[in-house]
Amino acid sequence: MQDQFNYPLLVVAGFPRTGTTSIYRNLEMHPGFAVPIRKELDFFRQAERPLNVYKAHFPRHPGARICVDVSPLYSLDLAVPDRLSAAVPQARVVLLVREPAGWIQSLYAQVSSYTPDPPTLSQFVADPVVKLFNRQVDISLSEGVYRRSLEAFGTVFQERLLIIDFAAFELNPLEILRTIEEFAGASPYFTAENVDLRPHNSSRRAQRYPPQLVRLLSQEGVVRVASKVVPAPLLRRARSLLYYAGDEEKPVADAASNREHDAAIARDATAADRETYAELFRSSPVRRASELC
């Protein structure tokens, strides 16, 4: 039926700034996954959209392959777990969680890189707003971001939710990618020779490409038309060049004292999440939601 999504589905739900672009890039090389041309479909953040729109992002006949949706803003939207589970009950979800102070500083750097008149870090942590083209999500650091998201996703998905410490992915991406492929039910593929270890979408590389191009590539209609007239390998190659554009980092003029000042602001702002993070990965960098009950 048109209103059913009967394929296996792996959703990498974030959080933002936890290596999701790198995971997306590696999963699309895996022969066992069907990965859409565009990252961040963001489909389940919008209510009452027909599933045939979602299905159009994937090959018409994926066969035994597992469909993949990498949308990090899902992690910040507490309505997503119920919508996703109702639409695709068989979905499996991966959440990557980062040390909170480092996470909020990385998120601030990314937001600032695309904002003409960015706020200061103090202003940002007081009222964090994360925008994705014409959509945005507001978060509250004082209430804790991680706990509420983990509870929302864990309650719905339980054994079908895998929680990963971003620090473990940074330290050993191959091991974490193998963990993800096993969790998804895919055949083993990743080796030290075929994993792409290059930094993807680094917040240190501000203005990697023009915002106008980003907005253009975010349009579903544009991507759908392009995928019909341009061979998929060529389209993926052109898009991947954007990931690595601007390898030279912008000069950083701040002194060590300013960096420590920003770190202190970040630590104070994320106090609620630091306790959650420490408890979450106290015994292992990879957890199932059922272990947290």
Domains of the chain: 9-292 (3.40.50.300)
pTM value surpassing 0.75 = yes
How far is the C-alpha of 84 from the C-alpha of 63, rounded, in Å? Answer: 22
Structure token digits, residue 175: 């091991």
What is d(CA 256, CA 227) in angstroms, rounded to the nearest whole number? Answer: 47
Q: Whole-angstrom distance between the N-terminal and C-terminal Cα of the chain? A: 36
The string over 225-235, giving b where at least 16 C-beta atoms fall within 10 Å of a residue's C-beta and e elsewhere, is ebbeeeeeeeb
Per-residue pLDDT of the chain (293 residues; tens, 9 = 90+): 457 888 999 999 989 999 999 999 999 999 999 999 888 999 999 888 889 989 988 876 677 799 999 999 999 999 999 999 999 999 999 999 999 999 999 999 988 887 888 899 999 999 998 876 567 788 889 889 999 999 999 999 999 999 999 999 999 999 999 999 999 999 999 999 999 987 766 544 444 445 555 555 555 555 555 555 655 555 555 555 555 544 444 444 555 668 899 999 999 999 999 999 999 999 999 999 888 76
